[in-house]
């Protein structure tokens, strides 16, 4: 049982990592193409509609289907019950969003948002009824199929539909059509690979455990939605579509790799953690390994992104988007905290503290709302700073609670923290120093190449010289999940490293 779980978990993470890389490249490609074709204003209009749509999607996905992952035992009635209520909640959210579209446009003081919201409302229903099939695949740890489906639906929606319509001059409707096409194809492909009964079932003897999990998921998702979108809610209210578009491109570029990490790895960790609920020591070790990888591998990568932000924006998006560079830099520095938060929540859920996530974040939400009310009118950069501070605070609060739940001591965390600071510092020095070698007036691409080379080589050389910077946990993870080619390198690092 234990070896089978380890094998499935390793396979799940490998496919999640591969899927993450492919989806990142696809999203980067389509975002750059669409941003260049459409410009800040179209992006801003779409972002205004999307910020409300995501709330309705959370309402539509009330959380019934999460019980299909969380519950250790599952029957056909569990699936039928989840699907029935996902359908009801999705339909209700679609109708409500359609009816209140004029109010959304009035809030943002932008009449063009009304039709955008009405068309996007269809996504609530599509997303809600997709959830049971998606979570059945997650329960099976079948992330190979799940990633293939997500990649295929993204290609259909954005590369085939979105880019084509943008080239035809459809403006914001290219983005709307892409979003709807992706949601529709995701539903179809998921159901074909994870077919399940669609016979309605409003109630049954075991329904209470599903509604209990669903209620907690709903409240948690609602709190997380406000924390993740409150920046654009206030920005859209106090500024204009252009400012929202500039902010959205910077935010998306910082958040895309982070979002893909969480989309792929969090469900895998949650599903595997469900099977470790009765083995707290193994859950603790798994959590420490996850934190080690986030802080020591993902953290320096986001520092590189922040330091090279101006060159990256100039090369990818062009002169119309230069205002997005400082926003990207500020938000990229906070994204390791976001990933840490996202990988801490499964620990709460699998240690009996799933209700704590929303309760602990309510004061943070109140503080973020007050800060944005006072300072959002000062511009997109001010909003980015507040959003970054909110992400860091969330990571600290949820991470502290998760550590308490599985008895992770300060002594276990402190070495990770200082090694992470050293590696991120080396990455920053290497990135900025190498970019500074470029001659005056050099093209953005040359500066970007030099920045990336410096940001990778300096910490890379430091790790080869002092493997203790990574620690045994990270080296073990690299040895388990990376290709078999660098076995000697792994062995060298492992023998030189004596700390975890």
> H or E stretch including 461?
helix 444-465
283 and 352 in contact (C-beta within 8 Å)? no
Q: Is 281 exposed, middle or buried (0-12, 13-18, 19+ CB in 10 A)?
A: exposed
pLDDT tens, residue by residue, 34-82: 888 888 888 888 888 877 777 666 665 556 676 676 666 778 888 898 8
DSSP 369: H
Residues in the chain: 500
| Residues whose CB falls within 8 Å of the CB of residue 65, separated by 6 or more in sequence, listed in order | 82, 83, 86, 131, 132, 134, 135
Q: Is 285 exposed, middle or buried (0-12, 13-18, 19+ CB in 10 A)?
A: middle
Please report the pLDDT score of residue 167 as a whole number.
92
Q: Give the C-alpha distances (Å, rounded to integers) separating 355 from 66, 73, 391.
A: 14, 21, 20
Please report the pLDDT score of residue 392 as a whole number.
94
Could you write out the DSSP letters of every residue in 228-290? Answer: HHHHHHHHHHHS-HHHHHHHHHHHHHHHHHHHHHHHHHHHHHHHHHHTTTT-HHHHHHHHHHH
Please report the pLDDT score of residue 109 as a whole number.
87
The segments of the chain whose pLDDT lies below 70 read 1-20, 55-64, 66-67, 69-72, 209-218, 260-279, 480-500
How many alpha carbons lie under 13 Å from residue 290 in its C-beta half-sphere? Answer: 32
Closest CA to 404 of 356, 359, 361: 356
Please report the pLDDT score of residue 466 as a whole number.
87
Please report the pLDDT score of residue 381 as a whole number.
93
Please report the pLDDT score of residue 485 as a whole number.
44
| Residues whose CB falls within 8 Å of the CB of residue 364, separated by 6 or more in sequence, listed in order | 227, 390, 393, 394, 397
Which residue in the block uniquely carries the two structure tokens 């935010």?
Answer: 251
478/463 Cα distance (integer angstroms): 13
The distance of Cα 335 from the centroid of its chain, to the nearest Å, equals 9
**How many Cβ atoms sit within 10 Å of the Cβ of residue 345?**
24
140/163 Cα distance (integer angstroms): 34
The runs of H, that is alpha helices, within 308-379 are 309-316, 324-349, 356-375
394/377 Cα distance (integer angstroms): 24
């Amino acid at each position: 049982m234990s070896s089978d779980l380890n094998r499935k978990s390793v396979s799940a993470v490998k496919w999640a990592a591969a899927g993450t890389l492919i989806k990142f490249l696809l999203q980067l490609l389509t975002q750059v193409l669409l941003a260049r074709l459409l410009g800040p204003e179209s992006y801003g209009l779409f972002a205004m509609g999307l910020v409300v749509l995501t709330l309705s999607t959370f309402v539509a996905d009330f959380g019934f289907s999460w019980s299909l992952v969380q519950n250790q035992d599952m029957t056909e009635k569990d699936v039928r019950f989840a699907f029935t209520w996902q359908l009801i909640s999705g339909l209700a959210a679609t109708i409500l969003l359609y009816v209140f579209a004029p109010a959304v446009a009035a809030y943002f003081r932008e009449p063009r948002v009304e039709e955008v919201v009405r068309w996007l409302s269809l996504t609530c229903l599509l997303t809600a009824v997709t959830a049971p099939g998606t979570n059945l695949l997650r329960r099976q740890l079948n992330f190979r199929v799940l990633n293939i489906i997500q990649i295929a639906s993204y290609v259909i929606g954005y590369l085939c539909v979105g880019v084509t319509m943008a080239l035809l001059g459809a403006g914001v409707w290219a983005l709307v059509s892409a979003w709807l096409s992706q949601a529709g194809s995701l539903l179809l492909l998921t159901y074909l690979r994870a077919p399940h009964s669609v016979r309605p079932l409003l109630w049954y003897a075991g329904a209470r455990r599903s509604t209990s999990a669903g209620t907690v998921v709903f409240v948690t998702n609602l709190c997380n939605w406000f924390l993740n979108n409150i920046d654009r809610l206030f920005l859209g209210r106090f500024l204009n579509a252009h400012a929202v578009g500039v902010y959205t491109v910077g935010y998306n570029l910082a958040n895309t790799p982070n979002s893909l990490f969480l989309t792929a790895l969090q469900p895998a960790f949650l599903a595997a953690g469900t099977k470790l609920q009765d083995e707290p020591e193994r859950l603790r070790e798994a959590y420490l390994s996850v934190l080690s990888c986030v802080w020591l591998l993902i953290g320096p990568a986001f520092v590189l992104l922040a330091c090279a932000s101006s060159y990256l924006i100039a090369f990818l998006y062009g002169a119309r988007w230069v205002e997005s560079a400082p926003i990207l830099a500020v938000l990229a520095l906070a994204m390791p905290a976001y990933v840490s938060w996202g990988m801490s929540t499964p620990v709460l859920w699998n240690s009996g503290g799933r209700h704590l996530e929303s309760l602990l974040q309510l004061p943070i939400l109140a503080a973020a709302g007050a800060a944005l009310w006072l300072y959002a009118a000062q511009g997109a950069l001010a909003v980015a700073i507040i959003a970054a501070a909110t992400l860091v605070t969330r990571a600290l609060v949820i991470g502290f609670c998760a550590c308490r739940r599985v008895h992770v001591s300060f002594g276990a965390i402190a070495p990770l923290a200082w090694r992470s600071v050293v590696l991120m510092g080396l990455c920053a020095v290497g990135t900025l120093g190498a970019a500074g070698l470029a001659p005056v007036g050099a093209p953005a691409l040359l500066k970007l190449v030099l920045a990336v080379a410096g940001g990778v080589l300096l910490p890379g050389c430091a790790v080869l010289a002092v493997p203790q910077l990574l620690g045994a946990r990270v080296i073990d993870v690299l040895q388990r999940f990376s290709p078999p080619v660098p076995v000697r390198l792994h062995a060298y690092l492992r023998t030189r490293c004596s700390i975890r």
